A and B are shown apart, each in its own frame.
Chain A
Amino acid sequence: MIEVQEQQNQLTPYIDQFERFEQDSELSPAHFLPIRKAAIARFAELGFPTNRDEDWRFTNVAPIANMVTSPASQRTAEVSPSDVSPFLYPELDGPLLVFVNGRYCASLSHTQSMPDGVRVLNLAEAISAGDPVIEEHLARHACYQDRAFAALNTALFEDGVVVHVSKGATPDKTIQVLFITSPESVATVAYPRVLVVADESSQVSIVESYASVGPGDYFVNSVTEVVAGANATVDICRVEHEGDNGFHIGSLHLHQYRSSRVQYHLMSLGGRLISHDVYALLDGEGIDCSLNGFYVVEGKQQVDNHLWVDHAKPHCDSREFFKGVLADQGRGVFCGRIIVREGAQKTDAKQTNQSLLLSDRAQIESNPQLEIFADDVKCTHGATIGQISEESMFYLQSRGLSKAAARNMLVYAFAAEVMATLKILPVKTKLEAELFSRLPRLETTSA
């Protein structure tokens, strides 16, 4: 009884936030209001997950559930160009969209250099304008029936990005999107939303970053939907730079059609709790799906990655390659489920999760799951958990490298394998440099 009451108390502020959406026809035009209503109803039924839910066994979201949040978008924030510059890649001279507390910020963005065949819109405008891409795709791929956080986002998001690449367009510029939170004295919540639609034989490359300025508590609940049309090529790099008091629960819902190629990177570089789901539906023959991840946790941080790769059609390749460095009392969870549907013959699915523990108190739960309903398939998974090798340390030291230098070299080498797969060069260079500069701190926190 008490528990039920507590649950109700946790949900009330969010359900209250919804009232605004029922009345606002800009945020909820007639065609979208039913979806919002269904989503909030579903959220109210599901409630926040607990450790009794299989997918949340190792992750405690009570700090989020108990956080009394107010919508970040309702607060004015002073964010200057110098606040956001650490999270940008100036060498990428394509469109840049910056969102502060979930709201589009025109003064920090520039969208002049829009390549031909690409539309980059802010979602709020696209929704109120009734853009056909919205009607066709928004909330059609991110299933919220069983996912409380996806339901919450669907009910309450206000703004975000729509990238639509038309048939055959192959823009040569990378699109940058940055969602920045500016936490204040009260805890805030923001609901970034991204929709990427790459039509047939088109190509697109996107960096999707999340970061914060300032020390306060906050919660980010994001949802990204990506549709890779037939024969399309999509490259997305997501970088999470959340602050020490930032909680981020996000998900990617990827729908791939025939012969499409998607390369996705999930770089989790900071945050109190970062939990990310990836649902990849391989819904056509000859698809290539590559999901890569790298995470660093220190202090009492936690990073979760849950991946579902659904091979629905034959002749598809999927690669999951996730590596993590866990220092201090950091925790990590990796759950990778590969589903091979009946008839999805010649599936080639490979999953790898490697963790490097830098302290005795760091922990990783690595949990591969295979569900295979076809007989002519190749599925492999491998999880390794290791520490810095004493023999390697001695070898390097015997050549004159100090203990710290030897250790840094080995940690960096561990990460290098994932970094090397980053195709967007300025992102690769910057993240490598950032990781390198963090190594000494990882060392001292773990000692």
Chain B
Amino acid sequence: MLEIRNLHASVEGKEILKGLNLSIKAGEVHSIMGPNGSGKSTLAQVLAGHEAYEVTEGEVLYNGKDLLDMESDVRACEGVFLAFQYPVEIPGVSTNYFLRAAMNSIRKYRGEEELDAIDFLQVVKEKTKIVEMDEGLLQRNVNEGFSGGEKKRNEIFQMAVLEPSLAILDETDSGLDIDALKIVAGGVNQLRRPDRSMLVITHYQRLLDFIVPDFVHVLVDGRIEKTGGKELALELEDKGYSWIEGAASTAV
């Protein structure tokens, strides 16, 4: 489904990703862990098509197509979804209105019929249950005045509505208490499907107790330095990142 080869990306002239390789098959859940500033969010933003990040080398194939060649809205229409580490507040636009516009844009791209307000509401009400989200939030402006937890739930809720085939979750667990974490992770688990892949970026091993990944990768200084199964996360929890960082620097 996703094939990243030798990806180099920089922001404001500074190289952040320095030759990253990653391959994700349909239905797999991959987790990326790594210290602050190692480039996790940069990877997520590059995959979603943020223009501030410049890809200087390498390629990304998504279902065999050149992902980097697509505008970010086309990527979304093709089924790529990013749950933002810091969801953006959009004053003046209700969640309901925004999400219907997004959904219809995607449906139109796929040649499907657009949903009217009533049908849409039906779909959406069902999906709020997945993350136990208060329906009242639908009438509120996108993320405006939402608590940290509400914002993260809203991201997963949007994912549930838009039904992507590749979901990238950037620290969706950060800042959540254990109850909220369980709800969000539970939502993500309900959305796991054989034809849907996930890239779960996290800073804390705890999330992986709830969303159990097929693979764990460790990102250090713009490169994946180690890959393993879910037990690698536990090892990182024990030892921290320094042993990998150390190995990485001696390898240079």
Interface residues of B in 89-103 (CB under 8 A from A): 90-93, 98-99, 101-103
Q: Is the CB of B92 within 8 A of A400?
A: no
CB distance from B235 to the nearest CB of A (A): 33
Known: A394-B50, A394-B72. A399 touches B92 (CB 8 A): no
Q: Chain B contact residues (Cβ within 8 angstroms of A): what range?
A: 20 to 34
Report if B200 contacts A (CB, 8 A).
no
Interface residues of B in 64-78 (CB under 8 A from A): 71-73, 75-77
Q: Is the CB of B77 within 8 A of A400?
A: yes
> Please, which residues of chain A bring their CB within 8 A of the CB of B77?
400
Q: Which one of A390, A402, A414 contacts B105 once the chains associate, using CB atoms below 8 Å?
A: A402
Q: Is the CB of B50 within 8 A of A400?
A: no
Q: Is the CB of B105 within 8 A of A395?
A: no
Q: Is the CB of B92 within 8 A of A396?
A: no
Q: Which one of A392, A400, A402, A403 contacts B88 once the chains associate, using CB atoms below 8 Å?
A: A392
Q: Which one of A397, A399, A405 contacts B162 once the chains associate, using CB atoms below 8 Å?
A: A399
Q: Is the CB of A397 within 8 A of B101?
A: no
Report if B130 contacts A (CB, 8 A).
no
Q: Is the CB of B73 within 8 A of A402?
A: yes
Q: Which one of A399, A402, A414 contacts B98 once the chains associate, using CB atoms below 8 Å?
A: A399
Q: Is the CB of B102 within 8 A of A401?
A: yes
Q: Is the CB of B102 within 8 A of A416?
A: no
Report if A92 contacts B (CB, 8 A).
no
Report if B48 contacts A (CB, 8 A).
yes
Report if B213 contacts A (CB, 8 A).
no
Interface string of A308-341 (1 = CB under 8 A from B): 0000000000000000000000000000000000
Known: A394-B51, A395-B84. A401 touches B101 (CB 8 A): yes
Report if B146 contacts A (CB, 8 A).
no
Interface string of B41-68 (1 = CB under 8 A from A): 0000000111110000000000000000
The CA of A414 and the CA of B93, in the complex, are separated in Å by: 9
> Please, which residues of chain A bring their CB within 8 A of the CB of B202?
none
Report if B82 contacts A (CB, 8 A).
yes
> Please, which residues of chain B bring their CB within 8 A of the CB of A409?
93, 98, 101
The CA of A409 and the CA of B52, in the complex, are separated in Å by: 22
Q: Is the CB of B105 within 8 A of A413?
A: no
Q: Is the CB of A391 within 8 A of B73?
A: no
Report if B169 contacts A (CB, 8 A).
no
CB distance from B161 to the nearest CB of A (A): 10
The CA of A401 and the CA of B73, in the complex, are separated in Å by: 6
Report if A135 contacts B (CB, 8 A).
no
> Please, which residues of chain A bring their CB within 8 A of the CB of B141?
413
> Please, which residues of chain A bring their CB within 8 A of the CB of B88?
389, 391-392, 394-395
Interface residues of A in 359-395 (CB under 8 A from B): 389-392, 394-395
Report if A398 contacts B (CB, 8 A).
yes
Q: Is the CB of B90 within 8 A of A397?
A: no
Q: Is the CB of B49 within 8 A of A397?
A: yes
Q: Which residue of A lies closest to B93 (CB)?
A: A413
Q: Which residue of A lies closest to B89 (CB)?
A: A392
Report if B87 contacts A (CB, 8 A).
yes
CB distance from B37 to the nearest CB of A (A): 20
Q: Is the CB of B101 within 8 A of A405?
A: yes
Q: Is the CB of A413 within 8 A of B162?
A: no
CB distance from A397 to the nearest CB of B (A): 4
Known: A400-B106, A409-B98. A395 touches B90 (CB 8 A): yes
The CA of A227 and the CA of B67, in the complex, are separated in Å by: 65
The CA of A402 and the CA of B93, in the complex, are separated in Å by: 16
The CA of A415 and the CA of B49, in the complex, are separated in Å by: 28
Report if B197 contacts A (CB, 8 A).
no
CB distance from B144 to the nearest CB of A (A): 10
Known: A391-B88, A405-B101. A397 touches B93 (CB 8 A): no
Q: Is the CB of A405 within 8 A of B105?
A: yes
The CA of A397 and the CA of B75, in the complex, are separated in Å by: 9
Q: Which residue of B lies closest to A395 (CB)?
A: B88
Interface string of B98-116 (1 = CB under 8 A from A): 1101110110010000000
Known: A402-B105, A405-B101. A397 touches B91 (CB 8 A): no
Interface residues of B in 8-24 (CB under 8 A from A): none
Q: Is the CB of B71 within 8 A of A397?
A: yes
- List residues of chain B with CB under 8 Å of any chain A CB: 48-52, 71-73, 75-77, 81-82, 84, 87-88, 90-93, 98-99, 101-103, 105-106, 109, 141, 158, 162
**Can you spell out 25 A-B residue pairs with CB atoms less than 8 angstroms apart?**
A391-B88, A392-B88, A392-B90, A394-B48, A394-B50, A395-B88, A397-B71, A398-B48, A398-B73, A399-B76, A399-B98, A400-B73, A400-B77, A400-B105, A400-B109, A401-B73, A403-B71, A403-B73, A405-B105, A409-B93, A409-B101, A410-B90, A413-B92, A414-B92, A417-B91
19 further A-B contacts with Cβ under 8 Å, apart from A401-B101, A401-B105, A413-B92, are A391-B88, A394-B50, A394-B72, A397-B49, A397-B71, A398-B48, A398-B49, A398-B75, A398-B82, A399-B158, A400-B105, A400-B109, A401-B73, A401-B102, A402-B73, A405-B105, A410-B90, A413-B91, A414-B92
